[in-house]
Chain A
Amino acid sequence: MNPQIYQDLQKIYPEIAITAAFLITIIADLTAPRIRKIGTFTVTALGLGTAFFLSLPLFAVPGSTMFFGMVTLDPVAVFFKCFLIFSSLLVLFAAPGAREFKKVHLGEFYALLLGITLGMLLLASAADLLMLYLSLEMVSIGSYIMVGYLRNERESNEASLKYLLFGAVSTGSMLYGISLLFGLTGTTKVAEIRQFLAGGGASGDNSMMLLVATVLILAGFGFKTASVPFHFWCPDVYAGAPTPVTAFLSVAPKAAGFAALIRFFFSGLSDAGSTTSPWTPFAAVNWTILILLLSVVTMTFGNIAALRQENMKRLLAYSSIAHAGYILMGAVVLNAEGIQAILIYLITYLFMNLGAFFIVIEVFNQTGSFELRDYRGLYRRSPFMTIAMSIFMLSLMGIPPFAGFFGKLFVFAAAVNHNLAWFAVIGALNSVIAVYYYARVIKTMIIDEGEDRTRLPLSAVSTALVWLMLLPTTGLMLFWDRVQQLTRDSVRLFFGS
């Protein structure tokens, strides 16, 4: 057996931990009904927790590719590993308390969560197109099942069908694009593709084929990150899926999709740069323009469509589409600053978006409704939920001093620093448009009068989770230096490989 494999095995302890937890959860699910509820939950939580702590030391490992060039290990990949495992953990804790899951056996849910997390970890570090496609499909197929988990509910089933049909076509097109790229370059390894393109492999007429292949591959990335025009599944799936699943989808697979997008475009289709000079896309295909268009269309469409939503899940769905547009801004600038902006934005987005969803889950648990009109007068019924939700809304708007402001600040600054000030202006205008629908939620909760005036009892778990999301959202500016340092170091080492 190849000694290289032994060394590589030591670097994927997180993935091994999750796979082991996955297998043990399946077996644990076969035990007696009384113990399996707690058993499966505990195994999953332990598995995710162990994986998280196994990921932390990986920050210090020098960048390398493993398993014959299938996956890379660099600080950006480790950042995403920690991010994704953490998101899965949070959703894990929110799931058992959700009203939608009250009568449903969750053993398979936990197993699916672990399987999807494994796929996401690999997606964030894929260095070969085969690994990229395989892990993308792993995340997607797991997600289709999760969305349809409430198999006796029409909405859940319909959502999973739409998700699957749309997703299969998008990833199928992406696969076709990958095959064309394979034909052009003769290899599926992203690093070798870059070498080939750097050597002028795609000059002249070949650049058109490269463009076609890139557009097709973008279909897959656009689908995973819910960017326009591959977003059609998003509102229906978010609305129909059980809310913990929606919360999960809005953060984790999206972030994993962005990680893969960064890795593919920056490491594969760009000419090597350094921390000082920006990378340049190969003259053959200036994909930055493509992504710029995508970004503008995505944020504008997301914000405008959210304006008239009356259902909280749909509103947050369109809001997350808009945020994908802002995140894409970071990908356009094509240098260390851009990637750092994306990482920071994702951190802030994790807390504020999950926080908003946790409140939506709890309100549904107590009132049974997702409609905005049933949030009227929430202030009288539960001041805590209202204030927390208002903070999340303000953060999503990008109002200082909350976390969302910093995310937008970095993304806009990256654009401005690269002669794309007009792009940042469009982003700022979009944020202004977004103020309307976020503020509408706040107004409905605080100012409007609701019919029901009874106090809302809140579950301890929900309260704890909301606090957990609230603290970073409000307190991020206190730890600002640490966050900046972390992301900057991660990115600097990314360029070394």
Chain B
Amino acid sequence: MIGLGHYLVVSMALFSLGIMGVLTRKNAVNVLMGIELILNSANINLVAFSRFSSGNLNGQIFAIFVIVIAAAEAAVALAIVLSMYRLIKTVNLDQADKLKG
């Protein structure tokens, strides 16, 4: 039978892959994809716990809000990325070096 643990493994794998994507990718849109993976992994957690650990729908409602927030964030992120492309004709994060750390 499929239990809570199975879902947790999937979500952990997604989270780790998301972290990996954020750390290694140079293209800004690619990093955004990694961020979406992280958010989805948390959502799987929420829904799985809602089913197995909490007996109510709070986790699912939380997940709906996370989807909403992710959409807003993605929209703003892409607006910024598009702005960047207009200014310097690339979205490679290496080229974002006007501000030295």
Residues of A within 8 A of B (CB): 129-130, 133-134, 137, 141, 144-145, 148, 151-152, 154-155, 157-162, 164-165, 168-169, 172-173, 175-176, 178-180, 182-183, 186-188, 232, 235-236, 239-240
Contact = CB atoms under 8 A, between A and B. Distances in A.
Given A165-B22, A176-B38, A179-B46, 17 more contacts: A137-B73, A141-B76, A151-B83, A152-B87, A154-B88, A158-B96, A164-B73, A169-B19, A169-B22, A173-B38, A175-B66, A179-B49, A183-B48, A187-B58, A188-B62, A235-B101, A236-B101
Contacts of A151: 83
A145 to B, nearest CB: 6
B99 interface: yes
Contacts of B96: 158, 161-162
A158 B65 contact: no
A187 B98 CA distance: 45
Scoring B11, B39, B73, B99 by chain A CB atoms within 10 A of each residue's CB, the highest score goes to: B99
Contacts of B46: 179, 182
B35 A183 contact: no
A159 B80 CA distance: 10
Given A172-B18, A187-B58, A130 B65 contact: yes
Interface string B48-79: 11000111001101100110010011001100
A176 B42 contact: yes
B84 interface: yes
Contacts of B42: 172, 175-176, 178-179
Contacts of A188: 58, 62
Main secondary structure of the interface of B (DSSP, over half): helix
The list of the 9 closest CB pairs from A to B, nearest first, reads: A179-B45, A172-B38, A183-B49, A236-B99, A175-B42, A186-B54, A176-B42, A168-B35, A158-B96
Contact of B101 (A134, A148, A232): A232
A182 B59 contact: yes
Contact of B81 (A133, A161, A183): A161
Instruction: Give the residue among A133, A137, A165, A236 with the most B Cβ atoms within 10 A.
Output: A165
A176 B58 contact: no
Nearest to B54: A186
A168 B83 contact: no
A158 B62 contact: no
Contacts of A182: 45-46, 49, 53-54, 58-59, 62
Contacts of B31: 165
A232 B18 CA distance: 19
A157 B89 CA distance: 13
B77 A168 contact: yes
A169 B53 CA distance: 26
19 contacts: A130-B62, A141-B73, A141-B76, A144-B77, A145-B76, A158-B98, A161-B28, A161-B80, A161-B81, A164-B73, A165-B28, A168-B35, A169-B35, A176-B15, A176-B38, A178-B42, A186-B54, A188-B62, A236-B101
A134 B35 contact: no
Contacts of B55: 186
Nearest to B40: A172
Given A169-B22, A183-B53, A161 B84 contact: yes
Given A165-B31, A172-B38, A144 B80 contact: yes
Nearest to A239: B99
Contacts of B61: 130
A186 B59 CA distance: 9
A142 to B, nearest CB: 9
A176 B22 CA distance: 15
A236 to B, nearest CB: 4
Contact of B76 (A144, A162, A186): A144
Contact of A148 (B39, B69, B72, B80): B80
Contacts of B80: 144, 148, 157, 160-161, 164
A309 B70 CA distance: 36
Contact of B77 (A152, A158, A164, A187): A164
A141 B73 CA distance: 7
Interface string B1-45: 000000000010001001100100000100110010011011101
A340 B54 CA distance: 36
A39 to B, nearest CB: 26
A159 B88 CA distance: 14
A154 B72 CA distance: 23
Given A157-B83, A160-B80, A169 B38 contact: yes
Nearest to A163: B80
B98 A155 contact: yes
A188 B80 CA distance: 33
